[in-house]
Structures are given as structure tokens and as C-alpha cells.
Amino acid sequence: MMKLILNHIKKVISFLFQNSELLFWICGLVYLSLIIPGENHFTFCPLKNSGINFCPGCGLGQSISLIFHLKIFESFQAHPLGLFALIIILYRITQLIKTKLRRDQYA
């Protein structure tokens, strides 16, 4: 029984490791879709945490979050490249999924 559990844990860890970039992008977009733009929320940004209000990276994240909330004009004001960045991230996610499906199909 213990061997079965350990084998299952190894498979889960292997899956997470092999698909870490895909999971990172998906979790990031889910997070940006769930936060309320303009409100204080947790951030890893060293500029924001040190009290500096302007950060192009935070503006990009806020822009993508505003797109998810269908506030396109405000999104463009937060960062003009937000929509472009979202398209690139979604393209990368589809490429990672296609690669995984091909790898699983031929394995």
C-alpha cells in the first residue's frame, strides 16, 4: 500500500515538474482574472513593496486583469501592451498544450 502511494506521489511530482511552465502561465492568468483591479492585493513586486508607485510590470498585470473584467479602455490606460501580452501568453499556453499532447500521443 505504501509503495502504491509513493508511486502515485512520484507521478504527480513528475507531472508538475514536466508541466511547470504551463501551470505557471495558467495559474498566473487565473490569478489576474480573480483579483479586483485597483484594490490592494498581495504582490511580489519589489518596487511596489518599497513604496514606489510606478512599475511597468505591475501596470501590465493590471492591464491584463482589466481585460478579464472587460474594461478595455482602462486596460489600455494601465499599460498599452496589455492586450498584446495577453495574446502572447495565450499563444504560449496553446503551444505548450499542443507539445504535451503530441508527446503523450507518441509516447
Q: How confident is the model over 59-92, as pLDDT tens digits?
A: 888 899 999 999 999 999 989 999 999 999 999 9
Which of 34-38, 40-44, 55-59 is predicted most confidently? 34-38
pLDDT given at position 107: 63
Is the separation of the CB atoms in 45 and 57 below 8 Å?
A: yes
Q: Could you tell me the end-to-end alpha-carbon distance of the chain, in angstroms, rounded to an integer? A: 28
DSSP state of 81: T
Q: Predicted confidence band at 38 (pLDDT cuts at 50, 70, 90)?
A: confident
C-alpha cell at 32: 489576474
Read off the pTM: 0.79
CB 63 within 8 A of CB 82: yes
